[in-house]
Structure 1
């Protein structure tokens, strides 16, 4: 669904917003089924947790970075309504998708409780502006139902923390627990928040529970002090080529793909990119490609 303007405004006013039924049912169902190519199904995990010791190594052991083996997961990262929301939030079509993750948690695997913190330390090499210019749009898409029992993210409204200098990134354990809001909702919901918002991960409150989310982040292109992942570093991973082939030119642009009309495109690059990505439709780029130079002719 298209995220209402009021929810995007709430991110600036409150620091975060939650929208239910964001993903359509078919996209959500396909993505959920493809999760089991990466993670154990909850019933399999809880049948023998010791068979999956990696999830006990740290709170972040369940993180997996883009790309993924299945297009059913990869297409969620470039969901049209997500791109639309990022464009409106950042007030430009010149945007980068700078981080995509999957995150699985299983109750009892590890202590997931955290103190409140701000995320910007590994999203920018400086600090966010307090006047809310030059923001980054950070998101969690819920891929499973999240209740109070399921270790929800807990965020503190900006009105409770505006007195804290942006340069302070962490609070003492327990501080602001009375002010926090649990981010709960059915699978397919989306949380959008800013990197200067205090929030934390919380523990599960019942055995046999699990939580699956997809964090995705956007920034305005050209703000070189912001970012997190370098996509060329991920281009050899399974799923990358299929994702690039199946994406539209607009979706590829989010990863820094040269746009149609860019001087990069000529007869040689069109031919060789087609060899690297079998089956890709490069006609949108070829229509405006540079004529070959005499040396190429």
Structure 2
């Protein structure tokens, strides 16, 4: 069974070695430097490009695109987390992501409005390392994803959950309507990972990553990040796709003015003149 069919059937898929080893290592180093304690997290947009590069990774975006889901994946939130067993409690009840990113409930289980990427910067290959547990959708078909965002214990779903034993560089993709949970780490055990939540938007532009949606410090980091992104990465951030009719000579010039150093496409079907790839130098 291919990844697309597995995701459609189960609501999740584990992609082995999706992250480039050098990118993964840089992310691990950056996270260790950002979290001075034995347990902690930092949020997107990150202060270091090594973590931003993973949240907007071309290989992860391509993997999501290959699932054939409707809409454009757009970063809603991302955290990079260092967990150490005994420093905090990590065991969770089974829950859904849809309640975190919408004021309303999904129509049904097929109304997936987003995908989560759990990115392993270090191994989570044994139960001592706190692997994420997921439940295949066939085992939760009787659940109303609108009224049951959390499954309290005891419940039969805990008997059929699958613990994902992953290696560093693996990526677990699961839908907003897939029940999952974090599990406890053994005392002293350590795990570094990132979670990136991508909404599936159906409009060309997004109002998620905007000045009004984040602190001034976060917005400053984001505006510094924008000029170095590719066209696909800008789309994932919330920009209209490069071929969208929104882009005209006037809007290209105005958006470039808003983000100093940004060079947008100047040669697609809606502009004139020679083209250059989004995010590239002139």
TM-score for the superposition, normalised by structure 2? 0.80
Q: Which segment drifts farther, 156-165 or 188-197?
A: 156-165
Q: Provide the rounded CA distance (Å) in 2 between the counterparts of 1:231 and 1:64.
A: 19
On the 8 A contact 1:259/1:285 being kept in 2, the answer is: no
Find the partner of 1:150 among 120, 129, 133.
129
Find the partner of 1:23 among 19, 24, 36.
19
Q: Deviations over 1:130-160 (max 9, x none)?
A: 3625542222111111131112211122222
Give the secondary-structure state (helix, strand or coil) at the position aligned to 1:82.
helix
State the 4+ residue runs in structure 1 displaced beyond 6 angstroms.
none
Number of matched pairs: 265
Determine the structure 2 residue equivalent to 1:112: 90
Structure with more strand by fraction:
2
Q: Provide the rounded CA distance (Å) in 1 between the counterparts of 2:162 and 2:19.
A: 22
Q: Which segment drifts farther, 92-101 or 213-222?
A: 92-101
On the 8 A contact 2:247/2:270 being kept in 1, the answer is: no
Find the partner of 1:277 among 253, 259, 273.
259
CA RMSD of aligned residues (A): 3.1
Residue 285 to residue 181, structure 1, CA distance change in 2 (3 Å): same
TM-score for the superposition, normalised by structure 1? 0.76
On the 8 A contact 1:144/1:211 being kept in 2, the answer is: yes
Q: Deviations over 1:199-231 (max 9, x none)?
A: 2111112x222222211222332379xx99544
On the 8 A contact 1:262/1:289 being kept in 2, the answer is: no
- 1:136 maps onto 2:114 in alignment: yes
Q: Provide the rounded CA distance (Å) in 1 between the counterparts of 2:93 and 2:62.
A: 33
Ranges in structure 2 where 5+ consecutive residues have no aligned partner? 273-282
On the 8 A contact 1:266/1:286 being kept in 2, the answer is: no
Q: Provide the rounded CA distance (Å) in 2 between the counterparts of 1:256 and 1:211.
A: 30
Q: Deviations over 1:153-173 (max 9, x none)?
A: 111222222122222122222
Ranges in structure 1 where 5+ consecutive residues have no aligned partner? 47-54, 56-61, 291-297
Determine the structure 2 residue equivalent to 1:50: none
